[in-house]
Amino acid sequence: MEDNGVFAIQESHSDRSCEELWRKDWTGKLFYSHGSSNSRGVLIGFTNNLDIDIEKSTCDKHGRILIVDFTYESKKFSLINLYNANTEQEQINTLNSLKDHISNHDVDNRYPIVMVDLNFIFDLKLDALGGKPSLKKGSISSFVKIKEMLDISDIFRVRHPNTKRFTFRQRNKASETIHRRLDYIFLANCLQEFAQKVEVLPSFLSDHSPVLLSLNNSNANERGRGLWKLNNCHLQDITFQNGVKETIKKTLNELITSSMSPHIIWEILKYEIRKFSIKFSKEKANIKNGVKLIHENIIIKFFE
């Protein structure tokens, strides 16, 4: 792990007896939601030299849900770690429980980052290889509601829209190796431009692969995820309208022929429109400032 970092573990197979041992091996802050010595358990850890102020942490009693609120460099974050259940109905119940836990945190004024083993996939062709994969539509629907509530996106899929990269592998009863993408990082949409790198790393001594996200947060907004808003005046600007139309057309032309699911296409489309809108706003502001400077120089020259 790099000098400043956070990690999340699902299926830690931990109970309270593990805490003292782990604290001897890890000098940074650790937070737990324990399961048992052979099932469940989630963990969030911070490197020792990460200068953070912990404000609140909550967890469930089943080793599946853990939320930590903290401040780093005057910016407020909510880290959510979830280890989802296996069957669809249990998954829906777990996601409903997660939603209840989130309601006890002030996520509207924070950057949410969700690190999860969802135990289901979103796309049959991109997220699965081997076996007979299926979509758990009830689970997907429940999670999409949480995703929209938090305004987060699957940052790996946004950055790698057509990449097949799996995080879980297992041999089935027919001795066939199946691959699935079950492990995700969902990042606050307003932080997407600060994501430097997101990748699935090789696994060691595990049937799951870790997912790595690197953020350059130095220029992020300081007042939380709701600060950036589209200037509604742009909606009346013909140049802006044409730019959005061209962005939509270009993005859809690149994605529509793929087997990508509609909700992932929509996620990527929103990201591209947002990226164009931010760029347009900055260019518009630069032009406005340039015109203002010229005007001021003319006035100065006039009165010399």
C-alpha span between 144 and 203 (Å, rounded): 28
Question: Which residues 6+ apart lie within 8 Å of 94 measured at CB?
Answer: 64, 65, 82, 84, 85
Q: How far apart are CA 78 and CA 110, in angstroms?
A: 6
DSSP label of 229: -
Q: At residue 238, does pLDDT exceed 50?
A: yes
**Percent over 70 (pLDDT), the chain:** 86
Average pLDDT, the chain: 87
Q: What is the pLDDT of residue 275?
A: 79
Q: What is the pLDDT of residues 206-221, one digit of tens each?
A: 999 999 999 986 554 4
Which amino acid type is present at position 71?
Answer: T
Give pLDDT, residue 33.
95
pLDDT tier, 259 (very low <50, low <70, confident <90, very high otherwise): low
State pLDDT tens for residues 1-37.
556 899 999 999 998 889 888 988 898 999 999 998 8
- Mean pLDDT for 172-188 is 92
pLDDT > 60? residue 226:
no
Q: What percent of the chain has pLDDT over 90?
A: 57
163, two tokens: 């990449």
Cα 130-136-140 angle, rounded to 5 deg: 120
Question: What are the tens digits of pLDDT across the range 26-85?
Answer: 989 999 999 988 899 999 999 999 999 999 999 999 999 999 999 999 999 999 999 999
Among the residue ranges 82-91, 106-115, 144-153, 257-266, the one predicted with the least confidence is 257-266
Q: 270 in helix, strand or coil? A: helix
In the chain, DSSP finds a helix count (H) and a strand count (E) of: 6, 14
> Residue 227: pLDDT above 50?
no
The confidence score (pLDDT) of residue 192 equals 87
Longest CA pairwise span in the chain (Å) = 89
Query: Tell me, what's the pLDDT at 280?
Result: 81
Torsion, Cα 293 294 298 301, to 10 degrees, reads 70
Q: Given a cut of 70, is residue 293 above it in pLDDT?
A: no
Checking if the pLDDT of 128 tops 80, the result is yes
pLDDT: which is higher, 271 or 117 = 117
pLDDT greater than 50 at residue 224:
no
